[in-house]
Amino acid sequence: MSTIHARTCHICEANCGILVEMNGRDVVSIKGNPDHILSGGYICPKATSIADMQSDPDRLHQPLKKVNGNWEKIDWETAFSEIGERFAAVTAGPKIPALFLGNPNTHNYANVTQFRALANSMGTRGQYSAATLDQLPHMIMQRWVYGHNALYPVPDIDRTNYMLIVGGNPLASNGSMWTVPDVRGRIKKLQKRGGKLVVIDPRKTEIAIVADAHHFVRPSTDTALFLGLLLALDQAGLVHPGRLEPMLDDGWNDTWATIRKFDLTALSGYCGISTETLREIAGELGSGQPAIVYGRMGVSVQTFGTLNHWLIQLLNIATGNLDREGGLMFNLPAIDPVVRHGSGAYGRFTNRVSGRPEVLGELPAAELTQEITTPGDGQIGALFVIAGNPVVSAPGGRQLDAALETLDLMVCIDTYITETSRHADYILPPCGPLEKDHYPLLLAPLAVRNFACYSPATLSKEPGSKEDWEIMAGLAKAIASQTGKPFSEPVEPRAALGMMLENSVYDLSLEELEKHPNAIDLGPLQPQLPERLQTPDKKIVCAPEACFNDLERFRAKLSKPQGDSLTLIGRRHIRSNNSWLHNSHRLLKGPDRCTLMIHPNDADVRRLSDGDIAHVSNHIGDLELTIEITEDIMPGVVSIPHGYGHSRKGVKLSVAREKPGVSINDLTDPTQIDPLSGNAVLNGTPVTVARV
């Protein structure tokens, strides 16, 4: 007899409702939940891979310890106490411990409730995480402009008439910094009601194909695009903040005075988008209709990532589209980080080798390698990686690969022996995905509609297995008992969630939520400014000092000629998720997806044909992969997806090894960083391509 369980897919930000049909502990099917408030039945191909993850023979079920290069199974108590003792020994001298937190933590509310306790017992100051490979430019900009790092402006796609997407591909990613299932369906509705979608991207992506217009942009030059749009708006007399006007501080005028010193033709020449197109888009944005400018990974992981996100806010403000229905709006989640947490710290301490400031508690992941390898007081000697795979996700992967081997102690909480966890002394595996409950703690604040949804665990845990949070708590306790650091027994995540819900502005309880497996609708996004601003005077800070000054760094760059080598960018595919879904049979089906996309003109001059093996190299490293010639990539640009490179020795991902691919991050440069946020630069990498 099979039973059907409604729960949330935990893989990406979209938080789709799924119906999991179970027969005992076996998954019979996974389908979209047509009654789910947010997703209305939509799912993508990744949802069904939950079944593969749950039953994967490669998934670890017991702690592993490396002894003379071989993995041995040990029990939890022995693992915890040995780690506690070794931790105390390593950190008794000048060496320090560090934490790296990977992306899946964002999707696991229980983990979020336990980090602090673990970090306190370890005595770490700051952390390395996927945030500095991703969205930190958004968050520090939000801190500076709106007064709180968690005040996320969300595109209100369902009520807009015009959307400009720059450097995002939600038809592959399913939305990012934006919880929005079924973007394709929402775009169809936008177009049906006469609205328009414009995409700016160096590749004609899946979203660009369905858009009403697509324009190529030279990688890493979007700052010129945004300045050009602002200038074109101004020159056409279309700057009308409307009801936002009284909320703008004095920086507004200073900013425009500086923007007017740029030259539209020079900006256009730099980014490769004609002045006519810039004027046309500015005219559409400034027409008075509800419109959105949204930028994502493509504009975040640049050396001007934070500057870009500030300019994006200015565009939305200048056209009166911030905090407006059909524009960029602020959410009011059931559990509100804006009320619960401080607005976000900056520069309380610095990274030892580079001296870069901490940003919102984060230290640049790109600098982890040098913090491990550079001798001296404060060198990292013990590293704990929780649900992360920085060997393939952080720039300079080969260098990190080598550095991890030199650690005195490395502990990974991971489901697999990965490119990263193979270097560990201990791997502590959590239980399967269906054995965990779910609440969108960090993602509901990014949702296109206010909602709340709790999913209990579908399956009981297998005897002797633990959830991630229990492993973290076990480590915290074992370490504290050795080092004498403070430790108090953890509040169970479910209980913590119940308390957070009781303090919600909505009348909600966990019991009530459990009665609504299709989610509770808390209504559409509402205008909330100026009340929701967290700045002391309830004004929008229009020219945050760091962003404003960064315009001069950009101006200097603008006047230098651009090189003529090929530039490398990344890409995502709907059947993949960073590095960790390649062991799913269901998803791996089909052609090899880790190819080098190159334009026919660039292939011709190098005498490359489709299917040839290319040698791609630069000052950081080199790799070889299959060529895919396509008109869909801008001339002068090549693309490799990230998250591959599974043929490294010792990796135990038997399905993934059938099509291992190579890691783009063997070519990305860890010294290239956005100085404002500490975020890595992952696109726009100069490379040379030749036939093997």
Contacting residues toward Mo ion, per CB under 5 A: 134
Per CB under 6 A, the list member of 14, 96, 171, 640 interacting with ligand SF4 is 14
Inter-helix orientation angle 305-318/222-235, to 10°: 20
Is residue 12 within the footprint of ligand SF4 (CB under 6 A)? yes
CB of 202 to ligand SF4, least distance (A): 24
| Beta carbons of 578 and 103 less than 8 angstroms apart | yes
Backbone torsion region of residue 455, taken as left when φ is above 0, otherwise alpha when ψ lies between -120 and 50, otherwise beta: beta
DSSP 176: S
CB of 115 to ligand MGD, least distance (A): 13
Is residue 52 within the footprint of ligand MGD (CB under 6 A)? no
Per CB under 6 A, the list member of 576, 595, 672, 679 interacting with ligand MGD is 576
Residue whose CB is less far from ligand SF4, 48 or 351: 48
Residue whose CB is less far from Mo ion, 173 or 255: 173
Sheet arrangement for strand 213-215: 213-215, 196-200, 162-166, 291-295
| Beta carbons of 285 and 311 less than 8 angstroms apart | no
Is residue 27 within the footprint of ligand SF4 (CB under 6 A)? no
Give the residue among 116, 143, 131, 126 at the shortest CA–CA distance from 343: 143
| Beta carbons of 226 and 302 less than 8 angstroms apart | no
Per CB under 6 A, the list member of 181, 396, 429, 641 interacting with ligand SF4 is 181
Residues 232-291 that bind ligand MGD (CB under 6 A): none
CB of 374 to ligand MGD, least distance (A): 22
Alpha carbon 518 to its chain's center: 26
Cα dihedral across residues 33, 37, 43, 46: positive or negative: negative
**Site size with ligand MGD, rule: CB under 6 A:** 63
Distance CA 140, CA 639 (A): 28
Residue whose CB is less far from Mo ion, 418 or 458: 418
Is residue 616 within the footprint of ligand MGD (CB under 6 A)? no
Residues 34-73 that bind ligand SF4 (CB under 6 A): 43-44, 46-47
Is residue 299 within the footprint of ligand MGD (CB under 6 A)? yes
β-strand partners of 72:
65
Residues 158-177 that bind ligand SF4 (CB under 6 A): 174
Residue 305 binds what, of ligand SF4, Mo ion, ligand MGD, none (CB under 5 to 8 Å, by partner type)? none
| Beta carbons of 686 and 618 less than 8 angstroms apart | yes
| Beta carbons of 137 and 676 less than 8 angstroms apart | yes
Can you list the alpha helix ranges (DSSP code H) found in 97-221?
Answer: 109-112, 115-122, 136-146, 170-173, 183-192, 206-210
Would you call 446 helix, strand, or coil by DSSP? helix
CB of 365 to Mo ion, least distance (A): 12
Distance CA 328, CA 330 (A): 7
CB of 17 to ligand SF4, least distance (A): 9
Distance CA 180, CA 469 (A): 27
CB of 131 to Mo ion, least distance (A): 8
Distance CA 88, CA 219 (A): 46
* Site pattern 196..235 for ligand MGD (x: CB under 6 A): ----xxxx-x-----------x-xx-x-------------
- Which helix (H) or strand (E) segment holds residue 691: the answer is strand 685-691
**Site size with ligand SF4, rule: CB under 6 A:** 12
CB of 39 to ligand SF4, least distance (A): 7
Residue whose CB is less far from ligand SF4, 44 or 264: 44
Per CB under 6 A, the list member of 316, 343, 351, 415 interacting with ligand MGD is 415
- Closest-approach residue to Mo ion (CB): 134
Query: Using CB under 6 A as the criterion, which residues of the chain lie in contact with ligand SF4 when the complex forms?
Result: 9, 11-12, 14-16, 43-44, 46-47, 174, 181
> Which positions touch ligand MGD (CB under 6 A)?
12, 102-104, 108, 130, 133-134, 166-170, 172-174, 176, 200-203, 205, 217, 219-220, 222, 296-299, 302, 386-390, 393, 413-416, 418, 430, 468, 569-574, 576-580, 642-643, 664-665, 668, 682-684
